[in-house]
Chains A and B, each alone.
Chain A
C-alpha cells in the first residue's frame, strides 16, 4: 500500500553534476508528473507522462529530461545541475479521466551548490 515512492529524499549536488530522481507508483495509474516547488511560486509542472510511452513538457522543462520506463516508473534527470535547480521536487500520479485524486511522493529536497 505504498502509493507513490520517490527517492532520494535529500540530495546535495555540485554545479555541473548529474543525477536522476526516481519515482514509482503502485496504483496502476496512467498519468505521472514531475513538479518543482519554490517559495512564493507554488508547484510548477516540469514534465508529465499522460500514459506509458508518452512524455510532454510542462511549464518549466529546461534543464531536465524524463523517462517513462514502464507504467509504474517515471524518472527525472538533471544532466548538468545548476543552482537555479535548487528546489523541492515532487512526483505525482493520477487517473484524471477516471476522476481519481492526485497522489504525491514525499518530495526530494535538492540543493545545488
Chain B
C-alpha cells in the first residue's frame, strides 16, 4: 500500500522558533501537497511541488525526489501558525487522480 508518513505527530514551539515538519512517501509521485487545517476549520492548500523548493512568506517547502522526502519549514513562528499541517501526494500512473494523505502534524505555537 502506498503510504505517506509525517513526523512529528505533535509539535509545540515557542513563538519565534524555526519549525520543520517532515513527510516521506514510498513510491514515485507526480506532485506533493502541503495543506493547513485550523481547529474546526477547512483545509487550505499551502504548496504543491514536484521538485526543488517553494517559498511563500515565512513558509518554505522543499522536496527531494531521490530520497522521497519533503519538508515544510516555518520561520519566525507565530501563534497564528497553530494548526494541523497535512502532507499529501499524487502518485504517478494508475489512480493518479487521487491524493493520498499523511495523518497530519499538530503544531502549537506558544506566545
Query: A residues touching B (Cβ–Cβ < 8 Å)?
Result: 31, 33, 40-45, 48, 50, 58, 90, 92, 94, 96, 99-107
Contact = CB atoms under 8 A, between A and B. Distances in A.
Contact of B44 (A42, A48, A50, A104): A104
B96 interface: yes
Most chain A CB within a 10 A radius of its CB, from B31, B41, B98: B98
Nearest to A45: B98
Contact of B33 (A33, A40, A42, A102): A102
A58 B30 CA distance: 19
B42 A105 contact: yes
Interface stretch (B18-26, B65-73, B99-107): B99-107
Contact of B31 (A42, A45, A99): A99
A104 B43 contact: yes
B102 to A, nearest CB: 6
A40 B66 CA distance: 29
A101 B43 CA distance: 12
Contact of B97 (A31, A44, A90): A31
Given A50-B97, A106-B42, A96 B102 contact: no
Contacts of B50: 99
Contacts of B86: 42-43
15 contacts: A42-B101, A43-B99, A44-B101, A90-B42, A90-B43, A96-B90, A96-B97, A99-B31, A99-B50, A101-B45, A101-B48, A102-B99, A103-B45, A104-B43, A104-B45
Interface in B55-111: 86, 88, 90, 96-99, 101-104
A107 B96 CA distance: 24
A102 B45 contact: yes
